[in-house]
Amino acid sequence: MNLLSVFSMILRIYKTEGAKGVLSRTLRKLKQKDANGNATTLVSKISIFNKRDVIGFYDFLTFKDAGVLQEIIPMDRKNVVNWLIPDFGIGSGGHLNIFRFISMLENLGYKNNICLVGEHRHSSESKAKDLINEHFFELKADIYFGIEDLPEAEFSFATGWTTAYFLRAFSKTYHKLYFVQDFEPSFYAGGSEYAFAEETYKFGFTGVCAGDWLANKLKNEYGMTTHSVSFSYDRDLYYPRNLQVTNNKKKIFCYFRPPTIRRGLETALIALDLVAKEYPGVEFIFAGWDMNDFKFEHEFENAGLLSLEELPDIYSQCDIALVLSFTNLSLLPLEIMACGCVVVSNEGENVEWLLNDNNAKLSSPNPVIIAENIIQLLRDDGKLNELRSKGIDFANSTNWNDEGKKLASYLEAISS
């Protein structure tokens, strides 16, 4: 087994079981001995990342559909919302958005319950809530481990493909919904997991999707009833910083996360290499990952993994940010725009539901053409400043509270 295969399997376990799952499997394997009583070899230790107990690992796939409650909703269950979520840790962007919408619903008078399904790292419900309150949002929501003790609610949301199987098996709710932030089958190569994720779009849940592209895709391709919410940004955190300029060199920011293949690391590195060769003296700041292990024959600042509080300074000192996305967009483009940095991204319906040539620079995903577009901006201060100003204006036109009210309006319509 090559190192890339090992890495892929580690990531798959991390996505579904978290760091605790990776650690526990590793320790379990390290304790094993072979038939002669000898410690297992490195090769056999690596094999822990194979799913040997496939049936047990995916037992949730066989949960039966429990349907929904049909009787008149009691008043004490009205406006109660259950959220089924996978395990989470500090820095999870998908969970940040879930908790944000829970917070907004709380402010609008909804009672929320959060239920962790599947394996997780938390020792108690109170510890899990402490982590949410400290690193995400201060929530009033109660925390539950597993659907067995989860109380009855008017609405219940799945929030990822694995959680959808648990929601299908949950009977104590009147309406089942699906908070969809990306087209999750595309996280996998064609195969079982692609099919497992895709199947959840056929469960009959009402979709609340991140953006129109995803809402339209699930409606048109899977017949789902869908609604969309858009993105905004934290105004208290993301705004242009008045930083002391040490030189007049242009700076380009790029976010890298090698395990997340949909963010286009290869495309970005090739494009930026071409930019550096054609426009000598441009400076680069790479963040999101330790990029020293990747060959890039030009100087760059290796910022690595940064806290949220550190990001605005980085964005504000850069002229251009290359932000690629081959599935749905993240919150990153709006946060970058709000700091006065021009976003360059790839074309596609998955991007253009939010970005366009009036607030960003869109390009063919061909790295050669991306490089040409970046170089044009570097050489045209007038266009760069125009896009910078329009990006700030567009970011300012968005508002999280509007999106929270939009979600509440969907729930009201479903309830009536």
Here the CATH number for the domain that contains residue 321 is: 3.40.50.2000
Looking at the structure of the chain, the number of domains it has is 3
User: 301 and 338 share a domain?
Assistant: yes
User: 226 and 257 share a domain?
Assistant: no
Position 242 scores a pLDDT of 85
User: 280 and 317 share a domain?
Assistant: yes
User: 87 and 177 share a domain?
Assistant: yes
User: 83 and 195 share a domain?
Assistant: yes
In this structure, is residue 238 part of a structural domain?
no
User: 134 and 225 share a domain?
Assistant: yes
In this structure, is residue 58 part of a structural domain?
no
Position 243 scores a pLDDT of 72
User: 96 and 199 share a domain?
Assistant: yes
The parent domain of residue 83 ranges over 73-232+401-415
In this structure, is residue 245 part of a structural domain?
no
In this structure, is residue 389 part of a structural domain?
yes
In this structure, is residue 102 part of a structural domain?
yes
User: 410 and 324 share a domain?
Assistant: no
In this structure, is residue 266 part of a structural domain?
yes
In this structure, is residue 67 part of a structural domain?
no
Three-state secondary structure along the chain? Answer: CCHHHHHHHHHHHHHHHHHHHHHHHHHHHHCCECCCCCECCHHHHHHHHCCCCHHHHCHHHHCCCCCCCCCCCCHHHCCEEEEEECCCCCCCHHHHHHHHHHHHHHHCCCEEEEEECCCCCCCCHHHHHHHHHHHCCCCCCEEEECCCCCCCEEEEEECCHHHHHHHHCCCCEEEEEEEECCCHHHHCCCCHHHHHHHHHHHCCCEEEEECHHHHHHHHHHHCCCEEEECCCCCCCCCCCCCCCCCCCCCEEEEECCCCCHHHCHHHHHHHHHHHHHHCCCCEEEEECCCHHHCCCCCCCEEEECCCHHHHHHHHHCCCEEECCCCCCCCCHHHHHHHCCCEEEEECCHHHHCCCCCCCCEEECCCHHHHHHHHHHHHCCHHHHHHHHHHHHHHHHCCCHHHHHHHHHHHHHHHHC
User: 271 and 209 share a domain?
Assistant: no
In this structure, is residue 280 part of a structural domain?
yes
Residue 222: CATH number of its domain:
3.40.50.11090
User: 328 and 343 share a domain?
Assistant: yes
User: 292 and 227 share a domain?
Assistant: no
Position 11 scores a pLDDT of 56
Mean pLDDT for each 10-residue chunk of the chain (416 residues)?
48 48 47 38 37 90 97 94 95 92 99 96 95 96 97 98 98 98 96 98 99 99 99 97 80 95 96 98 96 95 93 97 97 98 98 98 98 98 98 98 98 92
User: 175 and 225 share a domain?
Assistant: yes
Position 23 scores a pLDDT of 53
